[in-house]
Amino acid sequence: MANEMNAYKMSKERLEQLKEELNYLQTVREKEVAEQIKEARSFGDLSENSEYDEAKTEQGKLYSKIAEITKLIENAEIIETTESTDTVGLGSTVTVVELGVNEKETYKIVGSQEADPMNGRISANSPFGAGLLGHKVGDIVVLEVPAGTLKFRIENINLEG
């Protein structure tokens, strides 16, 4: 288990996606880049060979991406998704109404590696996501934010979406 400071929280599914991507990068993509470098070398003088420079740059990017994904995998902390629609947990899709504004919004609570707030995927580590965890339908959730206090009522919890 990774230590808390370097842990990357994610679902089992996200970890599997990362492993598949790493495998692809280390096998197929690495061979492609090596072939580009080999081909560029055949063009002669490396000091004025833009194809060689581009291939070496691509190789650097590839190795950087491999290192990044390896770090994520090595420090992955698998978070179990909830199987309950009674309380908000990881994997829950939650519909809330902001009190005073009466605006309905729906969010899916996900691990930090899967967060995409612009598409309604909120990290369980974020203040908003953490504030919703453990609450039930009908609960009023009060969140302190820099702009003041926000209040939400939980309208619905499900495991879809």
Q: Is 126 helix (H, G, I), strand (E, B) or coil?
A: coil
* Average pLDDT score over the chain: 85
Measured between alpha carbons, how far is 86 from 98 in angstroms, rounded to an integer? 20
Predicted confidence at residue 101, as pLDDT, reads 86
Q: How many CA atoms lie within 13 A of 30 on its CB side?
A: 11
Helix (H) or strand (E) holding 108: strand 103-110
Complete domains list, the chain, with CATH: 4-78 (1.10.287.180), 93-158 (3.10.50.30)
Does the structure show a pLDDT above 60 at 103?
yes
Does the structure show a pLDDT above 90 at 77?
no
Q: Is 18 helix (H, G, I), strand (E, B) or coil?
A: helix
Cβ atoms of 55 and 37 closer than 8 Å? yes
Predicted confidence at residue 3, as pLDDT, reads 46
